[in-house]
Amino acid sequence: MADDDPIVPPDSKFTRTKAAWADQGRFLTGRTARPETERLPPGQHLVKNWPVLDLGVEPAIDKTQWRLDVDGAVETSVSWNWQTFSEQPQVDNVSDIHCVTSWSRYDNAWTGVPTMHIAEAAGILPQARFVILHSYDGYTTNLTIEDFLSPDALLAHSWQGEPLTREHGGPVRLVVPHLYFWKSAKWLRRIEFSTQDKPGFWEVRGYHNHGDPWTEERYS
Ligand SMILES: Nc1nc2c(c(=O)[nH]1)N[C@H]1C(S)=C(S)[C@@H](COP(=O)(O)O)O[C@H]1N2
Ligand SMILES: [Mo]
């Protein structure tokens, strides 16, 4: 894919509302919690269902058309199709979801390819420090290499043993459990390793560049 995103993400009332929450500091408690002693981060409440949050456009990507590119500051650019992606090493991982709009959901069983393997397959250059995720709906989000390569982070294609549904980001989404869920890009299209940070869709709309739920890094 070219460096410029060809897709323009939609503007919507919900997008504008969420941008306003960043201005107002909505849901902030000023409390910090520790993952070792508390399971629910400050300002969060537990839900049993699984809410859908996105820009309102849910791209339908057939597995025969689906591609995932890994490029940028790497030794070897990689482009997987569904077949070659399925041949990569697989892991199962159970983790909690924490969304910045204040809901959390426990015990999500994900299956997919560990992000560590992506780094090995492409060979990250020493000067690469950031990872920019690009999605089929035009969404982007940014992470440091360390956060992206966290041991429980993966490119998930299944949830609770079933293929990830379209509304939750299928065929493949990122899952980075230790950060707010907006960092977990749905409908993943491209993983760009970069020497420079490039704040993504929510990061340029008042949301925190890092997004740690335990220290309430909700807004910038
Ligand atoms: N491509 C894409 N990924 C995205 C989003 C989006 O709009 N587009 N929204 C983010 C936000 S804000 C959240 S909270 C989670 C929601 O994931 P879910 O709908 O599966 O709960 O996806 C994240 N990943
Ligand atoms: Mo979100």
Residue ranges near ligand 2 (ion) with Cβ within 5 Å: 53, 99, 182
CA of 40 to the centre of ligand 2 (A): 16
The one-character DSSP state at 41 is P
User: What does the alpha-carbon distance between residue 24 and residue 45 come to, in Å, rounded to a whole number?
Assistant: 20
CA of 134 to the centre of ligand 1 (A): 12
Residue 4, pLDDT score = 55
Residue 20: C-alpha distances to residues 12, 24, 94 (Å): 12, 6, 33
Pocket of ligand 1 (CB under 6 A): 50-55, 99, 135, 137, 139, 168-169, 181-182, 184-187
Least confident range from 20-34, 53-67, 199-213: namely 20-34
Residue 35, pLDDT score = 73
User: What does the alpha-carbon distance between residue 92 and residue 175 come to, in Å, rounded to a whole number?
Assistant: 12
The CATH architecture to which 38-215 belongs is Alpha-Beta Complex (3.90)
Residue 14, pLDDT score = 85
CA atoms within 13 A on the CB side of 197: 9
Closest-CA residue, ligand 1 atom 13, reads: 182
* Higher local confidence (pLDDT), 9 or 189: 189
Least confident range from 26-35, 74-83, 133-142: namely 26-35
User: What does the alpha-carbon distance between residue 15 and residue 138 come to, in Å, rounded to a whole number?
Assistant: 14
Domain ranges of the chain: 38-215
CA atoms within 13 A on the CB side of 161: 0
Tokens of 214: 């335990």
Which residue among 14, 181, 187, 204 has the greatest number of ligand 1 atoms within 8 angstroms of its CB, and so is best to mutate?
181
Under the banding of pLDDT at 50, 70 and 90, the label for residue 33 is confident
**Partners of 93 in the beta sheet?**
110
**Phi then psi for 140, rounded to 5 degrees?**
-135, 155
> The whole model's pTM is what?
0.94
Model confidence pLDDT, tens digit, residues 50-82: 999 999 999 999 999 999 999 999 999 999 999
All residues at 6 or more sequence positions from 152 whose CB lies less than 8 Å from its CB, including other chains = 93, 95, 177, 178
Average pLDDT, the chain: 95
Residue 119, pLDDT score = 95
Residue-by-residue DSSP string for 29-96: ------TTT-SSPTT-EE-SS----SSS------TTT-EEEEEESBSS-EEEEHHHHHTS--EEEEEE
For the chain, percent helix, then strand, then coil, each to nearest 5?
Answer: 20, 30, 50
- Evaluate if residue 159 carries a pLDDT over 60: yes
CA 202-22-142 angle, to 5 degrees, is 25
Which residue among 7, 141, 174, 184 has the greatest number of ligand 1 atoms within 8 angstroms of its CB, and so is best to mutate?
184
Under the banding of pLDDT at 50, 70 and 90, the label for residue 9 is confident
Closest atom, ligand 1, to C-alpha of 18: 12
Which residue among 101, 105, 182 has the greatest number of ligand 1 atoms within 8 angstroms of its CB, and so is best to mutate?
182
CA dihedral 204, 209, 214, 219 (to 10 degrees): -30
- Evaluate if residue 6 carries a pLDDT over 70: no
**Percent of the residues in the chain that have a pLDDT greater than 90, as a whole number:** 89
Under the banding of pLDDT at 50, 70 and 90, the label for residue 32 is confident
Q: What is the mean pLDDT of residues 156-178?
A: 98
Q: Element (H or E) spanning 114, and its range?
A: strand 103-114
Burial of 192 (0-12, 13-18, 19+ CB in 10 A): buried
- Evaluate if residue 98 carries a pLDDT over 90: yes
